[in-house]
Amino acid sequence: MNGVLVAFFEISITARLKPFRRLRLAALGFFLASVGFGMIGLVMHWAWFLLTVLVFTAGEILASPQQMSFIADWAPPEARGRYLSLYQATWSVAFAVNPAITLPLHAALGERAFWGLMPIVALPGVFVLLRLDRTADRPELLRGVWGGGMPPPESVKSLP
């Protein structure tokens, strides 16, 4: 269900969200994903699981494209592929390491407690995105925006 929802809706929803601040949308997406994962352990029924997938997929659709566009804009134009590859590699490492950490925790805590931790674990990510929205997601700071012939403003030239 997750893949189908992403395939059918992510591009059209992302296009409609262009007027909104992207890292705020990503923070909302993180929040929805964490709530969706937190809901998993509450009820053991297939219909409930479908609802949880709907909620965390909505979060994924909100967060993922917004984060990637922010990274692409922060990257120097000639290095965008490397920046986005590194971003994607961190997700791959997380997927690889995740079972070694979470399966023993799941076994020790049980369904309700384990899944109830998910919103708590994700909350710092929501706050980091909101902080980045206030401090770093400004056109004068985004290196990738200034490619293509436009000279960067003085504030960007001094960035590392």
pLDDT tens digit sequence for 29-74: 999 999 999 999 899 999 999 999 999 999 999 999 999 999 999 8
**Greater pLDDT, 151 or 51:** 51
Instruction: Please check whether residue 67 lies inside any domain of the structure.
Output: yes
pLDDT of residue 159 exceeding 70, the answer is no
Q: Is residue 151 part of a domain?
A: no
Question: What is the chain's percent helix, strand, coil content, to nearest 5?
Answer: 80, 0, 20
Examine the pLDDT at 151 and tell me if it is beyond 60.
no
Does residue 127 lie within any of the structural domains? yes
Kindly state whether residue 65 falls inside one of the protein's structural domains: yes
Q: Which domain holds residue 22?
A: 2-146
Tell me how far apart the alpha carbons of residues 41 and 115 are, in angstroms, rounded to a whole number.
5
Structure pTM? 0.83
Contacts of 121 (CB under 8 A, 6+ apart): 34
Mean pLDDT (whole number) for 127-134: 94
Query: CA neighbours within 13 Å on the CB side: how many for 96?
Result: 6
| Residue 26 belongs to some domain of the structure | yes
Residue 156: predicted pLDDT:
47
Residue 24 has pLDDT above 90, yes or no: yes
pLDDT at 149: 45
Q: Is residue 155 assigned to a domain?
A: no
Report how many domains make up the chain: 1
The sign one gets for the Cα dihedral 98, 13, 135, 147 is positive
